[in-house]
């Protein structure tokens, strides 16, 4: 059974780099891995997605090893406004269903 797990919470200070890892033991090999950000009382918002190796956009980087059993979201120089819950999303190879990770609550301190 596909399982997608993330650390429950992480703390950081402004200006630091934050890396959040999602472990997904059975993600389909031909689908993207996507990360979302969610603020209280809002829907999840797309951050970045990738298929393999490394992807970078204006807000984050995503690292996916060759075995695709994990992915790491990297937020450079976080600010207070990055305080949110971060979710990974993938397609489970056994059920072919979209599954969200358990979510990581990031708290950024001044």
Partner 1 sequence: DAGVIQSPRHEVTEMGQEVTLRCKPISGHNSLFWYRQTMMRGLELLIYFNNNVPIDDSGMPEDRFSAKMPNASFSTLKIQPSEPRDSAVYFCASNLAGDTQYFGPGTRLTVL
Q: Give me the residues that bind partner 1 (CB under 8 A), please.
A: 34, 36, 41-46, 49, 87, 95, 97-103
In the bound state with partner 1, the residue whose beta carbon lies nearer, of 71 and 103, is 103
Label residues 46-57 b or e (16+ Cβ within 10 Å = b).
ebbbbeeeebee
Pairwise CA distance, residues 34 & 4, whole Å: 12
Name the token pair of 109.
């301190």
Residue 16 CB, nearest approach to partner 1 (Å): 26
Residue 106 CB, nearest approach to partner 1 (Å): 16
In the bound state with partner 1, the residue whose beta carbon lies nearer, of 69 and 97, is 97
Name the token pair of 48.
């970045």
Residue 62 CB, nearest approach to partner 1 (Å): 13
Question: Would strands 53-56 and 61-64 be described as parallel, antiparallel, or unpaired?
Answer: antiparallel
In the bound state with partner 1, the residue whose beta carbon lies nearer, of 3 and 77, is 3
Contact status, residue 99 vs residue 88, Cβ threshold 8 Å: no
Contact status, residue 20 vs residue 73, Cβ threshold 8 Å: yes
Residue 38 CB, nearest approach to partner 1 (Å): 9
In the bound state with partner 1, the residue whose beta carbon lies nearer, of 44 and 82, is 44
């Amino acid at each position: 059974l596909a399982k997608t797990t993330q650390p429950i919470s992480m703390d950081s200070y402004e200006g630091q780099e934050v890396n959040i890892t999602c472990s997904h033991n059975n993600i389909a090999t031909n689908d993207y891995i996507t990360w979302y950000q969610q603020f209280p009382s809002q829907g999840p918002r797309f951050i970045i997605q990738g298929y393999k190796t490394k992807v970078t956009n204006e807000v984050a980087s995503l690292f996916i090893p060759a075995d695709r059993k994990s992915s790491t979201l990297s937020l450079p120089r976080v600010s207070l406004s990055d305080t949110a819950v971060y979710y990974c999303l993938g397609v489970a190879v056994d059920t072919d269903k979209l599954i969200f990770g358990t979510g990581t609550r990031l708290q950024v301190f001044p």
